[in-house]
Amino acid sequence: MNNDPLFSFDTDQGASVSALTRRHFLRLAGIGAGTVLLSSCGFGTAATPTHPPLPTIPRAASTGRVSAYTLEAAPTTLTLGGKKVSTWAYNGAVPGPLLRLTEGDTLKVTVKNRLPSGQDTSVHWHGVPLNNPMDGVPGATQEPIASGQDFVYTFVAPTAGTYFYHSHVGLQLDRGLYGPLIIDPTRETMSYDQDFVLVLDDWLDGLPGTPDDAMQKLIANGDTMGGMGGSSGMGGMSSTSVPPDIVYPLYLINGRSSEQPTQLAVKQGDKVRLRFINASASTIYHIALQGHRMTVTHTDGQAVEPVEVDALRIGMGERYDVLVTANNAGVWQLAAKVEGAEGMVRAVLKYKGSVATAPAATYQPEELKRHMLTYPMLKVAAGLVVPPAYTPDVSLPIQLSGGNGQYVWKINNEIFAKAQQIAVPKNSLIRFAMQNMSMMPHPMHLHGHFFQLDNGTGRGPLKDTVLVDAMQSLTVNWISDNPGTWAYHCHNAYHQEAGMMRFVRVS
Ligand code: C2O
Ligand code: CU
């Protein structure tokens, strides 16, 4: 085992979880110790490494400081968008509390499961390349937290960036069980006057029915995209206008609807940092700020070469940080338009002293139709450690399919419940060559690692979640420097629940 404190299991609990996971894995994979794990998958190619040793992604050493929080997951009644809803939330609010600490500090979170009896839960720290036993995935890294029980997550925050946390059980993400997590760098190299965190969510819980009811409807309706996905192809539809699985009754930014929007107060001349987090279960957004351009500085918490745009597209699980110069006094719409459907949600940017009236709740600024960020425009920032351009040690074709007459979503033609784990050797260069054979976009998310997107530039961004559009092929490369069992799945919560997930075992 690695002696680095980040990777050693320093609690008794961690050690026993690890042992359990291994037994669980061997049972699932149907193989004994000593088997060549990779071959058990039946696909993929392994080469004897011929390249120089690989770098590892730098992770901050422990400062010894501890940031302690408590998250109580419990039934709550909230007023959202003027409607009273019964839901499940952390500490009685949506989103859950902002957890914020500096890299190298230890995040210690006591999670109290006070959900109704029989409802297990867990908390996953989305995007954080932490030590495996703290990753919050029942069946891979821990036993689920049973109702009435507590669980303490504790890990050294390894890498600065914009992240979020959410339940990793069933469809609980599509209730209120999510919140923002910001890890600040030891030294901030960007300069700005204001820092706003904006969490986007699609809301149906209690309006009426629950996410589980919504899932039953999706299954009963089979493939909502049937006509398109079958013979007629996409018709004239572009990849950025595919209708979502679910049109939600309500969309929120920081728990607020367009009618009572989040207000961002700025002064003329301010440099404003906006951190967009898409915590939605099933909604992609196009975001634009009226009267301003946005300079994208980070995706999924990782720095990119700054690129100026009017609009950006954000999939479920993705994050974007942008800088805006407040040089246009007034009251402006920060709009997040739902992709493929009518809805939108907004926040309002308000300059101090401005007496302008706010735009109408549903006003869609022109900027939404102007210069939109695309993946080929993103280049990883100089100085970040990226997977070298060697021939990969393991190259896995990943086929994404489903939605042909049934609400079933698959990876390499298997649903999660029936699939074997994907086993890859540690400290190797791994390639996932994803091919979307379906008519829906899939935001594919890998736990515990950043991957580099091959966007044709040779300098693609480091990300942990990437939108693979309908019928599109996308390749990502990553260094398997974090041992353990990691979830890899579509971040559409309904696709994930309907089978579009695998465990990836790095050992
Ligand atoms: Cu936010 Cu397994 O994911
Ligand atoms: Cu999907």
The answer to whether residues 280 and 317 touch, using CB atoms and an 8 Å cutoff, is no
- Nearest partner of 177 among 60, 264, 97, judged by Cα: 97
Q: What are phi and psi of 338, to 5 degrees?
A: -70, 130
User: With a 6 A CB cut-off, is 126 part of the ligand 1 pocket?
Assistant: yes
Nearest ligand 1 atom to alpha carbon 496: 2
Nearest ligand 1 atom to alpha carbon 489: 2
The answer to whether residues 10 and 152 touch, using CB atoms and an 8 Å cutoff, is no
Query: Residues 6 or more apart from 259 whose CB is under 8 A from it?
Result: 81, 82, 361
- Helix (H, G, I), strand (E, B), or coil: what is residue 66? strand
Query: Residues 6 or more apart from 221 whose CB is under 8 A from it?
Result: 407
124 CA to centre of ligand 1 in angstroms: 7
369 CA to centre of ligand 1 in angstroms: 30
DSSP H or E stretch at residue 504: strand 501-506
d(CA 242, CA 360): 26
Give the per-residue SS3 of 123-166: CEEECCCCCHHHCCCECCCECCECCCCEEEEEEECCCCEEEEEE
Q: Which ligand is nearest to the CA of 141?
A: 1
229 CA to centre of ligand 2 in angstroms: 14
The region that residue 4 occupies, defined by phi over 0 for left and psi between -120 and 50 for alpha, beta otherwise, is: beta
Beta strand 429-436 pairing with 394-402: parallel
The answer to whether residues 169 and 176 touch, using CB atoms and an 8 Å cutoff, is no
Question: Cβ-count burial of 418 within 10 angstroms (0-12 exposed, 13-18 middle, 19+ buried)?
Answer: exposed
Nearest ligand 1 atom to alpha carbon 487: 2
CA distances from 118 to 19, 114, 138, 149, 467 (A): 26, 10, 15, 11, 34
User: With a 6 A CB cut-off, is 445 part of the ligand 1 pocket?
Assistant: yes
Nearest ligand 1 atom to alpha carbon 164: 1
Q: Which ligand is nearest to the CA of 502?
A: 1
- Helix (H, G, I), strand (E, B), or coil: what is residue 43? coil
* CA 490 to chain CA mean position, Å: 9
Nearest ligand 1 atom to alpha carbon 137: 2
Residue-wise pLDDT tens for the chain (507 aa)? Answer: 333 333 222 233 333 333 333 333 333 333 333 333 343 444 445 556 689 999 988 999 999 999 999 999 999 999 999 999 999 999 999 999 999 999 999 999 999 999 999 999 999 999 999 999 999 999 999 999 999 999 999 999 999 999 999 999 999 999 999 999 999 999 999 999 999 999 999 999 999 999 999 999 999 987 554 333 333 344 456 778 899 999 999 999 999 999 999 999 999 999 999 999 999 999 999 999 999 999 999 999 999 999 999 999 999 999 999 999 999 999 999 999 999 999 999 999 999 999 999 999 999 999 999 999 999 999 999 999 999 999 999 999 999 999 888 999 999 999 999 999 999 999 999 999 999 999 999 999 999 999 999 999 999 999 999 999 999 999 999 999 999 999 999 999 999 999 999 999 999
> ∠ at Cα 224 (221, 227), nearest 5°?
120
Q: Which ligand is nearest to the CA of 127?
A: 1
496 CA to centre of ligand 2 in angstroms: 7
User: With a 6 A CB cut-off, is 124 part of the ligand 1 pocket?
Assistant: yes
pLDDT in tens, 95-118: 999 999 999 999 999 999 999 999
pLDDT in tens, 53-64: 999 889 999 999
> ∠ at Cα 50 (49, 56), nearest 5°?
60
d(CA 391, CA 453): 15
Peptide bond connecting 208 to the previous residue in cis, omega within 30 degrees of 0:
yes
Atom 3 of ligand 1, nearest CA residue: 126
Query: Residues 6 or more apart from 276 whose CB is under 8 A from it?
Result: 198, 200, 287, 312, 314, 319, 320, 321, 322
Q: Which ligand is nearest to the CA of 446?
A: 1
427 CA to centre of ligand 2 in angstroms: 28
What per-residue confidence (pLDDT) applies to 236?
A: 52
The identity of residue 470, as a single letter, is A
User: With a 6 A CB cut-off, is 346 part of the ligand 1 pocket?
Assistant: no
DSSP H or E stretch at residue 335: strand 331-338
Atom 1 of ligand 1, nearest CA residue: 126
Q: Where are the beta strands (DSSP E) in 204-330?
A: 250-253, 263-266, 271-278, 285-289, 294-299, 302-309, 311-314, 319-325
What per-residue confidence (pLDDT) applies to 241?
A: 85
Peptide bond connecting 392 to the previous residue in cis, omega within 30 degrees of 0:
no
The answer to whether residues 180 and 94 touch, using CB atoms and an 8 Å cutoff, is no
Atom 2 of ligand 1, nearest CA residue: 487
DSSP H or E stretch at residue 30: none
400 CA to centre of ligand 1 in angstroms: 17
What per-residue confidence (pLDDT) applies to 9?
A: 28
Q: Rounded to 10 degrees, what is the CA torsion of 390, 434, 18, 118?
A: 160
445 CA to centre of ligand 1 in angstroms: 7
d(CA 310, CA 453): 22
The answer to whether residues 171 and 211 touch, using CB atoms and an 8 Å cutoff, is yes
User: With a 6 A CB cut-off, is 317 part of the ligand 1 pocket?
Assistant: yes
Nearest ligand 1 atom to alpha carbon 126: 1
DSSP H or E stretch at residue 32: none
Q: Which ligand is nearest to the CA of 279?
A: 1
User: With a 6 A CB cut-off, is 502 part of the ligand 1 pocket?
Assistant: no
